[in-house]
Structure 1
Amino acid sequence: MNVLLQNIGVLRDLLDLSLVAVIITSLSRLLKEGMALRILATLCVLLAGHLLARLLSLQAVRLLIDTFLASSVLVLAVIFQTDIRRAFAALTRTRAEKDVEMSDVIDELVFAVAGLAQKRIGALIVIERGIPVDNYLAVGTDIDAKVTSELISSIFLPYSPIHDGAVIIQRGKLTKAGCFLPLTQNLEVSKSLGTRHRAAIGLAELVDAVVIVVSEETGAISVVVGGKKTDVLEPPALGKMLRRLIEPRWLK
């Protein structure tokens, strides 16, 4: 019986050493051939081999596999360093582009609103955030253009055929104009407010959009969010408020 157990132990040691040789040879071939993608599959095989070696008490194989697994993160980082650099560069570039785009759009909005308020030209501007506003719009003209103060100002000029409706800004672009919004049904809203303000409050009660209103009668600027109206006295305050309300959502 002792002889049999010794023979089994010898065979197990031989199997252990043979598997170690096979693993080293296979991994060397993969690295030499530059088959980086197959290394990912190999790591899965190593995990399975670790469990099997543990079950069969193959100590040398287990030690070798544990060593490879412990250093796998570093190995993958070296192999895919070019792809990792590209991914980080693309992420940084995209985020920077969004940041610049957001800042430019807000600057154009503030400039346009300030000009309209000074001339007492009524305006209604909707800035979409997390919840789409399309289902709550009526009529409207598709535009799909870059947001500029000149374009916004020209849309709300009294002789423009779409000056009575709202301008919609989605994903940093002016997508629609001349849109009619749902009027608020809240009885607590002051009856002194005009149609533009009631439309702004009505939409803001349904979605999380930011709505800018310029009063045709007084030239006063208001921002409506969540059904609540906030009067803004100066354009710089409007810019500061828009950056606070829009920037966190814009970059998602």
Structure 2
Amino acid sequence: MAGIAVAVIALTLYAVVQYELPHGEPPTPNVAGAGKALIADSLGIDFPNSKLLSRVTSILKDAGFKVDVVMGRDVNMSLYERLTNYQVVLLRIHGGKASYVTASGEVKIINGLFTGVPWSDEFEELKKEWLGTRARPYHNPNEAYLALLPKFFLEKLSGYFPPNSTVVVASCYSLITPDIAKSMGAHGLRYFVGWEGPVTVEHMDKAVVKLFEYRFEEGLSWPEAVEEVNNELGPDPLKNEYLRIVSFK
């Protein structure tokens, strides 16, 4: 499946799926992270796109953000733990999904986000704790990477995101279940943007650039920007997948 990044959640076209977080003591947001943005690109190991990185970096800087760009193997577990240090995050990565059978015999789907770190036996403990797993990109099953599971984002993220924070996951399957998004929402995330199923790299990259242009150059809200991207580009021409957005309040 050449040109496919792995990723998962299906949401109604153009609609914002909204979740209410549990009531209780309100979290303390990471105010220091306001005005900071992260672009993390491990997909560039297989599908580099320097023009996208330059364009999105320029858009964010023009909007007043301090931008950190992290590439390749440096997109690691430690970086994911520190996503809460940023108000805007773009993860250009592989994503994946798998099915498993519960003790009661129910078949469930779980999704994960790839790091750029090659799989090693030292990560076996993460598998036992359902924090991470070995994952292989569809286009090259001979390679194996560490991928992080929903429980990791719930238990290992450091503190809380800044107010009105957004994570854009440019991968397949980041929204095939809501679990990763909800895990970040529990840490104060406002918006999670991604794709439910598989998406071609070409369409995904084009959509990402358009998304940031609509949001920061045209001044649209994140939900409005997602809608405009879908209106302009339509679904992925090969995979029929639309960009989706989940919000938390």
> Shorter-normalised TM-score: what interval?
under 0.3
Higher helix share: 1
Give TM-score, length-normalised by structure 2: 0.24
Answer with 1 or 2: which has the greater Rg: 1
Give TM-score, length-normalised by structure 1: 0.24
Query: Which one scores higher on RCO, CA 8 angstroms, separation ≥ 6?
Result: 2
Higher strand share: 2
